[in-house]
């Protein structure tokens, strides 16, 4: 009996011991796999010469998948149609490439996989794997490298296509619009680019933010950058080429206008406005009056006319610098627009004016029907200036800090071009305390040419305030709302008061831009003294 009891006690003790050990840890499957796929073999072998196959298979040591293959995988020289590459949407131990285009003779091809190859389970990436082959007796071995930056923005967009056009008997400057380049690569998520396995020769170096992915420059949607001189290989192999990409200003073109109300047409256009004029060629009453107003947001002009008259169609002549066209829009009787007024906002800075805008051309303002009072309902003296060309009215008065103002407008205080008048309106806005704002005192050094445009932008690159520097004096940016600002300096070479992008066909590079390396944080009631040494 004692032996049996001892045996039971021993068995219970062993069970407790096992249970206690089991509680000390949990099974976790071992360490996480952080090893990228390993290239095993390829058929035909990588770096083959005298290549004649129509299919390639590249094997790895584990199941892989292709991520963002359309963006990441670059075949150079480009093929049309592009080869089919698998797996897409699945996993496999090999990548299959099937050529649908006839390969060029005596040509070295490079297939750069970027960061597309990753293992199926953990997503570990095999970076920048390349498969290279030649249809001739040897592999080309020259290289070109460089960097890309945005000509105006601090940060460059990802996935910029970089191309080399072979300068031969068929090359012209217009080749970028209609011919795929000899070699292509891509920056992916970097600012750097590299070409490998290039042949000896002369080339034009181009960078494209190629939105269509067709290796052709389409100015309406693409950015472009270029190296001015011809690249000679092998002589220029050791150089580092730096390219700025920019959005070209399109050649001016007037688009078909559209009638949007009884007395109004909108004339959209591409390119720069310059001296654009609109003339009605149709027969019209002798009493015809017109008003042309630029849109405040879009590349369009608003064309207003009175009186309304009926004809089968209207014919307009549009002219601009070295441009003339005749346009015939649809025309019919429509409802007349009513006058609608808007303002510049509910918060007014000490150095700004309260502005009124209208959807129809403002014709006159009767100040006797308008009053301005502060938060204590005290009448404030004011005047209103009307700019008919811009269709805006400026309220001028002596502002006090930390105050609230109400602008009351009785009916018919404002009348417009087509005879409308306002109903009773009220606008309320306020001023802040001076101590709610911050100030930046900015000193520029190493400026080799004036004028320069100095811009404070938000972190998205939108201009908040701009000043023009014509000498080394310190610039004062006051009444700044608390925020982080970026500083951008534009070298205004032609002194036209704006940044000018480049032009590929004219061989013009964009005006130089320097960015302060860090964001400047402005706080309420702060003064910041900052020196910017330009490069």
Per-residue pLDDT reduced to its tens digit, 270-297: 999 889 999 999 999 999 999 999 999 9
DSSP class of 374: -
pTM, rounded to two decimals: 0.85
Rounded Cα distance between 48 and 135, Å, is: 8
Q: Nearest Cα to 350, choosing from 281, 301, 420, 399? A: 399
Q: Is the Cα dihedral 48, 51, 53, 54 positive or negative?
A: positive
Rounded Cα distance between 413 and 112, Å, is: 69
Tokens of 469: 């520097």
| pLDDT recorded at residue 24 | 45
| pLDDT recorded at residue 266 | 97
Q: How many residues does the chain have?
A: 535
Rounded Cα distance between 436 and 414, Å, is: 35
Rounded Cα distance between 107 and 116, Å, is: 25
| pLDDT recorded at residue 9 | 47
Residue pointed to by tokens 């805006």: 392
Q: What are the strands, taking DSSP E only, across 179-283?
A: 183-186, 192-198, 201-209, 223-226, 231-233, 240-245, 253-254, 258-261, 264-270, 277-280
Buried b (16+ CB within 10 A) or exposed e, 84-110: ebebeeeebbbbebebeeebeeeebbb
Q: Which residues pair with 108 in a beta bridge?
A: 134
Report how far apart, in Å, the C-alpha atoms of 516 and of each of 154, 155, 170, 230, 442 are.
9, 12, 44, 32, 11
Rounded Cα distance between 158 and 223, Å, is: 12
In order along its 535 residues, the chain shows pLDDT tens digits of 444 445 444 544 544 444 444 444 444 555 666 789 999 999 999 999 999 999 999 999 999 999 988 889 999 999 989 999 999 888 999 999 999 989 999 999 999 999 899 999 888 999 889 999 999 999 999 999 999 999 999 999 999 999 999 999 999 999 999 999 999 999 988 999 999 999 999 999 999 999 998 999 999 999 999 999 999 999 999 999 999 999 999 999 999 999 999 999 999 999 998 899 999 999 999 999 999 999 999 999 999 999 999 888 899 999 999 999 999 999 999 898 999 999 999 999 999 999 999 999 999 999 999 999 999 999 999 999 999 999 999 999 999 999 999 999 999 999 999 999 999 999 999 999 999 999 999 999 999 999 999 999 999 999 999 999 999 999 999 999 999 999 999 999 999 999 999 999 999 999 999 999 999 999 999 999 999 999 8
Phi, psi of 9 (to 5 degrees): -65, -40
Buried b (16+ CB within 10 A) or exposed e, 315-352: ebebebeebeeebeeebeeeeebebebebbeeebeeee
| pLDDT recorded at residue 299 | 95
Q: Which domains does the chain have, with CATH numbers?
A: 39-134 (2.60.40.1220), 142-245 (2.60.40.1120), 253-327 (2.60.40), 341-432 (2.60.40.1220), 436-533 (2.60.40.10)
- pLDDT tens string 240-259: 999 999 999 999 999 999 99
Q: Which residues pair with 311 in a beta bridge?
A: none
Q: What's the CA angle centered on 38, arms 36 and 44, to 5 degrees?
A: 140
8 A C-beta contact, residue 273 and residue 319: no
| pLDDT recorded at residue 25 | 45
Q: What's the CA angle centered on 305, arms 300 and 306, to 5 degrees?
A: 160
Q: What is the side-by-side order of every strand in the sheet holding 240-245?
A: 192-198, 142-150, 240-245
Phi, psi of 139 (to 5 degrees): -95, 130
β-pairing, 463-469 vs 483-491, is unpaired
């Amino acid at each position: 009996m004692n032996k049996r009891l001892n045996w039971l006690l021993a068995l219970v003790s062993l069970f407790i011991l096992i249970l206690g050990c089991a509680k000390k840890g949990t099974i976790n499957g071992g360490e996480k796999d952080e090893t990228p796929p390993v290239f095993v073999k390829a058929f035909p072998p990588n770096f083959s010469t005298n290549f004649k196959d129509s299919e390639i298979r590249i094997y790895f040591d584990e199941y892989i998948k292709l991520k963002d293959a359309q963006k990441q995988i670059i075949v150079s020289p480009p093929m049309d149609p592009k080869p089919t590459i698998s797996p897409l949407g699945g996993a496999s131990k090999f990548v299959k490439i099937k050529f649908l285009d006839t390969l060029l003779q005596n040509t070295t091809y490079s297939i750069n996989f970027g960061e597309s190859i990753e293992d199926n389970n953990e997503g570990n990436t095999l970076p920048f794997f390349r498969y290279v082959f030649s249809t001739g007796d040897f592999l080309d071995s020259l290289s070109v490298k460089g960097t890309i930056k945005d000509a105006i923005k601090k940060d460059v967009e990802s996935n910029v296509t970089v191309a080399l056009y072979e300068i031969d008997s068929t090359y012209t400057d217009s080749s970028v619009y209609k011919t795929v380049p000899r070699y292509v690569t891509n920056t992916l998520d970097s600012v750097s680019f590299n070409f490998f396995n290039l042949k000896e020769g002369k080339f034009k170096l181009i960078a494209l933010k190629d939105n269509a992915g067709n290796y052709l420059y389409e100015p309406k949607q693409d950015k472009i950058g270029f190296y001015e001189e011809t690249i000679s290989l092998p002589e220029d192999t050791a150089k580092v080429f730096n390219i700025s990409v920019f959005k070209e200003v399109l050649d001016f073109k007037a688009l078909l206008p559209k009638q949007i109300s009884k007395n109004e047409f909108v004339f959209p256009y591409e390119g720069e406005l310059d001296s654009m004029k609109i003339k009605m060629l149709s027969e019209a009453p002798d009493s015809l009056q017109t008003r042309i107003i630029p849109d405040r947001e879009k590349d369009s002009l608003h064309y207003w006319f009175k009186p309304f008259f009926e004809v089968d169609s209207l014919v307009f002549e549009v002219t601009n610098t070295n441009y003339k066209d005749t346009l015939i829009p649809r025309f019919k009787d429509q409802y007349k627009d009513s006058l609608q007024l808007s303002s510049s906002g509910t918060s007014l800075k000490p150095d700004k004016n309260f502005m009124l805008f209208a959807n129809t051309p403002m014709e006159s303002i009767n100040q006797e029907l308008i009053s301005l009072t502060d938060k204590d309902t005290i009448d404030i003296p004011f005047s209103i200036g009307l700019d008919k060309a811009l269709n805006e009215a400026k309220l001028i008065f002596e502002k006090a800090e930390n105050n609230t103002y109400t602008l009351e407008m009785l009916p018919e205080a404002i009348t417009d071009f087509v005879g409308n008048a306002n109903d009773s309106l009220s606008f309320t806005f306020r001023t802040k305390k001076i101590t709610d704002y911050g100030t930046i005192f900015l000193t520029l050094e190493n400026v080799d040419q004036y004028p320069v445009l100095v811009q404070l932008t938000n972190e998205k690159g939108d201009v908040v305030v701009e000043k023009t520097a014509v000498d080394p004096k310190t610039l004062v940016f006051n009444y700044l709302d608390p925020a982080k600002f970026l500083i951008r300096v534009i070298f205004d070479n032609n002194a036209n008061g704006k940044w000018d992008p480049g032009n590929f066909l004219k061989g013009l590079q964009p005006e130089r831009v320097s960015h302060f390396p860090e964001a400047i944080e402005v706080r309420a009631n702060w003064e910041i003294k900052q020196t910017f040494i330009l490069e």
